[in-house]
Amino acid sequence: MENSDPFDSLLNLEEDYYKEGYELGVADGSKAGRLEGRVFGMEKGFKKFATMGQLQGRAAVWAARREKKRIPGSTDEAVGEGSRERVLPPMPDNSRLEKHIETLYALAESASLSTKNSEEAVSEFDDRFKRAGAKVKVIEKIIREPAADPENPQEDRPSSPGKTHR
């Protein structure tokens, strides 16, 4: 005896559409997740690489400030009436500071940073990024410079009239 109801396919129609919709949703969600993950990864990678470039730039400026020696009899006056020269404060003569600046520059040097997307390369970059950030904090403490916010770099950091930086 065959129990074939002609309405079985109609009665299971809702379940069939549900399964088909679920499978399509999983496939679309997986594709969208991969795309969103790639975009997020590229944004984070770019942001980290840009911050590392900022750290390299700060190391270069600090190194230049250390190398700049005052020539007796020279003045810091600006050339021309309309121009205004900004003079950076002198840095202490400290061999430990010099080593920290050299190490920071070596850690943040863009030519030696890997842009590969392997687990090992990303781990090495993150390690160097953390070490460079720590070096910056040490250098800022030694030269008594206010900490820079890498998220919001500013050209000038005006202080309040009553406050002075150490």
As a whole number of angstroms, the distance between CA 149 and CA 143 comes to: 17
In the chain, the percentage of residues whose pLDDT exceeds 90 is 40
Regarding predicted confidence, which is higher, 116 or 145?
A: 116
Contacts made by residues 78-87, CB under 8 angstroms, sequence distance 24+: none
Identify the sign of the CA torsion 48, 49, 54, 55: positive
Confidence of residue 162 (pLDDT cuts 50, 70, 90): very low
Phi-psi region of 70 (alpha: psi -120 to 50; beta: other; left: phi over 0): beta
Q: In which band, very low, low, confident or very high, does the pLDDT at 28 lie, cut at 50, 70 and 90?
A: very high
Question: Which of 7-16, 57-66, 130-139, 152-161 has the least mean pLDDT?
Answer: 152-161
What value does the mean pLDDT take over residues 76-95?
65
Q: Is 71's pLDDT higher than 50?
A: no
pLDDT of 163: 46
List pLDDT tens digits, range 124-160.
Answer: 999 999 999 999 999 988 888 777 765 554 444 444 4
Q: Mean of the pLDDT values across residues 63-76?
A: 60
- Predicted TM-score (pTM) of the model is 0.63
Exposure string of 138-157, with b = 16+ CB inside 10 Å and e = fewer, is ebeeebebeeeebeeeeeee
pLDDT for res 83: 58
Residue 143 is predicted with a pLDDT of 84
The average confidence (pLDDT) of the chain is 79
pLDDT for position 158: 42
Report d(CA 72, CA 125) in Å as an integer. Answer: 44
Predicted local distance difference test score (pLDDT) of residue 12:
84
